[in-house]
A and B are shown apart, each in its own frame.
Chain A
Amino acid sequence: DTGVSQNPRHKITKRGQNVTFRCDPISEHNRLYWYRQTLGQGPEFLTYFQNEAQLEKSRLLSDRFSAERPKGSFSTLEIQRTEQGDSAMYLCASSWAGGGNQPQHFGDGTRLSIL
């Protein structure tokens, strides 16, 4: 059973550059979530998809952030014109929606560092 996979694991970039992260969920899961976690804090919700539809976006997701899940399988999260405050761990999770609460399963995250 393959878990949630995220790439890259680490990304270091200069302020102002664009970055893109990829998440491959557990294959039978129809929901995919993005969270952001800063040091010493719990993860904060950014957005989520059911199949290819983006159902909710947090106020944390500024106009510089965009997420896609074009075929209802993998997802990408792009940050344009990165800022120092974007430095964080970006976590992806997936779950199966249908028939009650189901736990979200997380990937190992992408750690973004802005120079």
Chain B
Amino acid sequence: SQELEQSPQSLIVQEGKNLTINCTSSKTLYGLYWYKQKYGEGLIFLMMLQKGGEEKSHEKITAKLDEKKQQSSLHITASQPSHAGIYLCGADGNTDKLIFGTGTRLQVFP
């Protein structure tokens, strides 16, 4: 079965700093999804990547899928307190359900 590993597990950065979160899959990724979750709330969809080498950006967040389609990265530029939360990568592995990593907890301090 497919497994997703996220790193780091936890990240504390000062406001204004850039950061990167990685997601590595044990199998080829057919669809890779990034979500953000605040404590006690649901998941907010950020971006979906499907093609090797694909890159998408939304505001200050950029996500990339590597050429071999087994690793994705999420990069935040000039972090703000509003970026704080848990970032989750999910993969559909060419099935209809999503398998998630364990998440990366991001804290941004002023």
Contacts and interface: CB of A to CB of B under 8 A. Distances in A.
Main secondary structure of the interface of B (DSSP, over half): loop
A99 to B, nearest CB: 13
A25 interface: no
B85 to A, nearest CB: 14
A33 interface: yes
Interface stretch (A41-49, A68-76, A78-86): A41-49
B42 interface: yes
Interface string B75-92: 000000000000010101
B36 to A, nearest CB: 11
A31 B100 contact: no
Given A31-B96, A42-B88, A101-B50, A106 B43 contact: yes
A4 B42 contact: yes
Interface in A56-108: 56, 58, 89, 91, 93, 97, 101, 103-108
